[in-house]
Amino acid sequence: MSFSRKKQFALRAVSAALAALLAPLANAFTPFVIQDIQVNGIQRIDPGAVFNFLPVKVGETFDDVKASESIQRLYSSGYFSDVKIDTDNNVLVVTVQERPTIASISFNGMREFNDKNILQALSQVGFSDGRVFDRSMLERAEFELKQQYLAKGKYGVEVTPIITPLPRNRVGISFDVFEGDLAKIKEINIVGNDSIKTSVLLGQMQLTTSGVMTWYTGTNKYAREKLEGDIEAIRSYYLDRGYLEVQIDPPQVSISPDRKDIFVTLTIHEGDQYSLTEVKLAGDLLGLESQLEPLVHVKAGEMFSAEKTNQTVKAITDYLGGLGYAFANINPNPVLDRANKTADLTFYVDPGRRVYVRRIEIGGNVRTRDQVIRREMRQQEAAWYDADAIDTSRDRVDRLGYFTEVDVTTSAVPGTADQIFLLH
């Protein structure tokens, strides 16, 4: 810093926290009014971004507190690995060293996943091409990559990141991956199932302990998504038998010291079993009570069944769809009487507006003429929406054998409340 006699100070920090500790020590100069701000060391970042991080502007007073705050803010931006502040003749001089950017990310030894999926997963934790590189970000990326393998049951995975400096302040990152073997399920314990046998619940699961045929089926190889599916299967089994308040705790999964054996414990809170005292339809029934009531699969006096409830919702939705109500909403609402362990079940019907199909559009067809597809259409343009006709049309187009998949989507015609487009 220069005043009547030239003095200079420099504050350096290795982290924002250290800069905060140094703030009380930065008292070796006299405050001054900034006449200009000079930024050195910028390569990619706009100098204006540095000005935005600074807590002072030209014409304001600069002192030791502002010096410490300036360093903290510049470090906190994440763009810089080194920050230095000098003054010279009432000019504030900020010298920075930019962190490198990530030029490329690659993987060696990775066979379980394709690169695209893992790159997408890493980008969700802030690690991708073009981003500013720092060690903490690399640690997050390494952790996320390991988590992907743990979800697949590969608890012996080892990941080694390698950083390669490149020209123009860039780095290439490669991950050397040793995938290891899949951990196998040694035990599955279920506790809290007072009403249903453990063997019955185990029968609902795809995952099993090792047995005579598991070398072929692979069902003893642990995978988190499969376990989550098995938990939902057990929950559905209870719901289909009247246990409306069943709860299953998050699974406890432990692994042996050699990372080869998995031990799973499921804790179930069954709750009470509920029978139905009343089942009814409500809402806007469109005067179709006699047509809708036979579609109700659950009956009073039976145990509540989630499967039959869902069948009822689908049956009513399909029926209304066949009448042009493309967006019907059926909401089943059980009301519990816990004292008597009974429930009243009401299906609330909201048919929505009746709509007709203005136009049928065909996309993704590169195998044949559109007219060949239109010949198979049973849903007509400028006609009421008919869910049955649309299902039949989809099946007929699928049977042509030209396509690997046939999807049908609907979209509202802008500016209308009762018209839709169909896209095949």
For residue range 330-366, what is the model confidence (pLDDT) as tens digits? 999 999 999 999 999 999 999 988 887 767 767 766 6
**Given strand 329-337, what is the order of strands in its sheet?**
275-283, 342-350, 329-337
CATH number for the domain formed by residue range(s) 101-178: 3.10.20.310
- Of 382 and 345, the one with more pLDDT: 345
φ and ψ at residue 272, rounded to 5 degrees:
-90, 160
Kindly report the average pLDDT of the chain as a whole number: 85
Domain 184-269 adopts which CATH fold? Ubiquitin-like (UB roll) (3.10.20)
Top CATH class of 32-98 equals alpha beta
* Helical residues (DSSP H) of 98-134, grouped into ranges: 115-123
Q: What is the pLDDT of residues 310-319, one digit of tens each?
A: 999 999 999 9
CATH topology of domain 356-423: Ubiquitin-like (UB roll) (3.10.20)
Kindly calculate the radius of gyration of the chain based on its CA atoms and give it in whole angstroms.
33
| Fold agreement (184-269, 275-350) | yes
pTM: 0.66
Rounded distance between C-alpha atoms, residue 223 and residue 218, angstroms = 11
- Return the domain boundaries, the chain: 32-98, 101-178, 184-269, 275-350, 356-423
pLDDT in tens, 193-228: 999 999 999 999 999 998 888 888 889 999 889 999
Name, in order, each residue with C-beta under 8 angstroms of 337's C-beta and a sequence gap of 6 or more.
277, 343, 344
Q: Which of 106, 86, 123, 119 shows the shortest CA–CA distance to 7?
A: 86
Closest CA to 304 of 269, 348, 335, 268: 335
Phi, psi dihedral angles at 135 (to 5 degrees)? -65, -40
Query: Is-contact 37 67, C-beta < 8 A?
Result: no
Q: What is the CATH number of domain 275-350?
A: 3.10.20.310
How would you class 287 by CB atoms within 10 Å of its CB: exposed for 0-12, middle for 13-18, buried for 19 or more? exposed
